[in-house]
Amino acid sequence: MNLSNKKPFIAGNWKLNKKIPDAVFLATQIKKAVRKERDAEIVIMPPFTALSDVKKVLSHTSILLGAQDTFWEESGAYTGEISPSMIKDTGCDFVIVGHSERRRYFGDTDEKVNKKIKAALSAGLFPIMCIGETLEERENNETMSKVKKQLREGLKGIDKDLFSKVILAYEPIWAIGTGRTASPEQAEDVHGFIREQLTKMVGKDTSSCVIMLYGGSVKPKNTFSLIKEKNINGALVGGASLEASSFVEIINEAKKAYKEKQK
C-alpha cells in the first residue's frame, strides 16, 4: 500500500472502549457513511479483541484498520503481549506506537518506542508514532526540545527508505481528552519544526512525504482550521471517533480543508 499526504489522513483511536458487538456496530455505522472514500485515508483502531470482527465489517470498503499498541518481540515467553505480525494477521495495516497514555501509564520510553517502531516496520505495518509535550513543558518553553528528543530517539537507526512509512502524530498531552485544543498556529509551529527536524535527518525529498497528524481534542468544529495548516496532514482522533456522526463530520471537514489548501 502506498500512502500519500496529498489527501487527509484521519485515524480514530477507540482506546479502551467498545466490546465486540459495539465495535461492530460503530464500524458498520462508519461504513454506511464512507464505504469507498477516495479523497481521504480513513483508519479505525478498535481494541485488540475486536480487530478481527471489525475487519470483516470493513471488507469491500476503503476504510483501513489499525491497532493501538504492539510489543517488539515476534514470539516467546512474554505473557500478555501481542506481536506486530499477530496484529498484521488480524488484517491491520497500522499500529499506534508511543501514545502518551502508554508512555504515562505503561512505561513506554523512547527506547521502547524505537524497538516497537522497528518491529512494526519489519512486520509490514505502518506505525503511527505519537510525540508531544506536557503542559509544564510547554510553559517552560521546552516543547521543541521534548519533541526533538522523542523524534530523534524514536526514529533512531531507521533506514531512510522507511521514513515515509512512519506516520507522525503531534499530540500535546495537555490537549488529549481535555477538550482543550492547540490553536492552529500552535499546532503548525510544532508541525513545521518537526518537518524541519526530519529534513535534517533524512533530507527534504523524504521529509516532505511524511504524513503528520495533529491529535488532542479534535472535534468537527476545529478540524477545518487545524488541517488547513500547511504541515498538518490529518488528525488522530480519540473521543470524537467513538460516534460515527462526529467521526464522519471530521472526515468531511478534513476534506474541505485539503481542498482549500490545494487552491
Contact 124, 92 (CB under 8 A): no
Q: Which is nearer to ligand PEP, 40 or 202 (CB)?
A: 40
Minimum separation from the CB atom of position 227 to ligand PEP (A):
14
**CB closer to ligand PEP out of 91 and 220:** 220
Read off φ and ψ for residue 95, nearest 5 degrees: -150, 135
Binding residues (CB under 6 A) for ligand PEP: these are: 13, 15, 99, 171, 176-177, 215-218, 236-240
Q: Is 60 a catalytic residue?
A: no
Q: Is the dihedral of CA 250, 45, 128, 9 positive or negative?
A: negative
Q: How far is the CB of 86 from ligand PEP (least distance, A)?
A: 22
DSSP H helical ranges for 127-203: 135-139, 143-154, 184-202
Give the whole-angstrom CA distance, residue 27 versus residue 25.
6
Measured CA angle at 115 (ends 158, 73), to 5 deg: 125
Task: State the nearest-atom distance from the C-beta of 209 to ligand PEP, in Å.
Answer: 23
Q: Which residue has the cell 481494541?
A: 47
Q: Is 99 a catalytic residue?
A: yes
C-alpha cell of residue 53: 470482527
Rounded Cα gap, residues 191 and 216, in angstroms? 14
Which residue is catalytic, options 101, 137, 171, 188?
171
Vertex 196: Cα angle to 190 and 199 (nearest 5): 145
* Separation CA 183–CA 139 (nearest Å): 15
Q: Rounded to the nearest whole angstrom, what is the least distance from the CB of residue 149 to ligand PEP in the complex?
A: 20
What are the b/e assignments for 70-89, b being 16+ CB within 10 Å?
bbbeeeeeeeeebbbbbbbe
CB of 154 or CB of 215, closer to ligand PEP: 215
Quick one: 202 or 223, whose CB is closer to ligand PEP? 223
Cell numbers given for 47: 481494541
Closest distance to ligand PEP from the beta carbon of 246 (Å): 10
User: What are residue 170's phi and psi, to 5 degrees?
Assistant: -85, 115
Q: Which residue minimizes CB distance to ligand PEP? A: 238
When the beta carbons of 119 and 129 are compared against ligand PEP, the nearer one is: 129
Catalytic positions: 99, 171
